[in-house]
């Protein structure tokens, strides 16, 4: 689903706005999380499984990094392992095909060749990878605490306005806003429409 598609503009956005306005404040992260996953699944298909898997890994790592029983070495190893998984998936799903194609091109110059790896690219993988890394790194450094509410975590990682187009938002910059979503007002929404239209015109 693209931002310029009729499905997004005439169905998805109005339904999400109405749902947010009709939902009590404490449940709005749930609406944001579910709508973001539906938006992503509509365009990414099986790539959603990778996103959910990495969410589970990083969400769990955030809790473990705060455990007092872990030694400094344990915490460092956990951070390195988690970030390694994140970056490993980024390399495999975004760059493996390109890398093997280049190796094959060079090998053919010398009469050889290698089988080019065909892996479907995962939409938005760069953005949610670095959101995950920011999350665990900021917790490891003690700059922010782990999110207890999984819906707030999903909303941070996969918020649909930035999931496929950015920007990357550091966890420490938004952590204080996630547990208590701001009150939505109709005048704020009305004021946002011109900005939305301007941004859409640049994307379309």
Rounded to 5°, the CA angle 44-166-59 comes to 70
pLDDT digits (tens, 9 = 90+) for 141-197: 999 999 999 999 999 999 988 887 778 899 999 998 888 766 666 777 777 777 777
DSSP state of 4: T
Q: Report which secondary-structure segment, H or E, holds 179.
A: none
DSSP state of 175: G
Q: Where are the domains of the chain?
A: 6-203
pLDDT digits (tens, 9 = 90+) for 68-102: 889 999 999 999 999 999 999 998 888 765 555 55
Using a cut of 0.85, tell me whether the model's pTM lies above it: no
Report residue 62: phi and psi, to 5°: -60, -40
CB environment 148-183: b (16+ within 10 A), e (fewer): eeebbbbbbbbbbebbbeeeeebbeeebeebeebee
């Amino acid at each position: 689903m693209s931002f310029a598609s009729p499905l997004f503009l005439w169905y998805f956005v109005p339904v999400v706005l109405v749902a947010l306005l009709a939902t009590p404040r404490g449940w709005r992260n749930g609406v944001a999380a579910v709508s973001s996953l539906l938006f992503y699944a509509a365009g990414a298909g099986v790539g959603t499984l990778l996103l959910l898997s990495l969410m589970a890994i990083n969400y769990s790592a955030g809790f473990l990094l705060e455990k007092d029983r872990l030694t400094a070495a344990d915490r460092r190893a956990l951070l390195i392992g988690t970030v390694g998984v994140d970056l490993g998936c980024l390399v495999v799903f975004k760059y493996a095909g390109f890398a093997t194609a280049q190796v094959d091109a060079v090998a053919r110059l010398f009469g050889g060749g290698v089988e080019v790896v065909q892996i479907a690219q995962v939409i938005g993988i760069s953005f949610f990878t670095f959101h995950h890394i920011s999350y665990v790194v900021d917790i490891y450094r003690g700059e922010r605490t782990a999110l207890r509410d999984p819906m707030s975590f999903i909303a941070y990682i996969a918020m649909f306005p930035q999931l496929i187009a950015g920007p990357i938002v550091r966890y420490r910059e938004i952590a204080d806003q996630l547990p208590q979503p701001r009150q939505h007002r109709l005048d704020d929404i009305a004021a946002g429409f011109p900005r939305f239209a301007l941004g859409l015109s640049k994307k379309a």
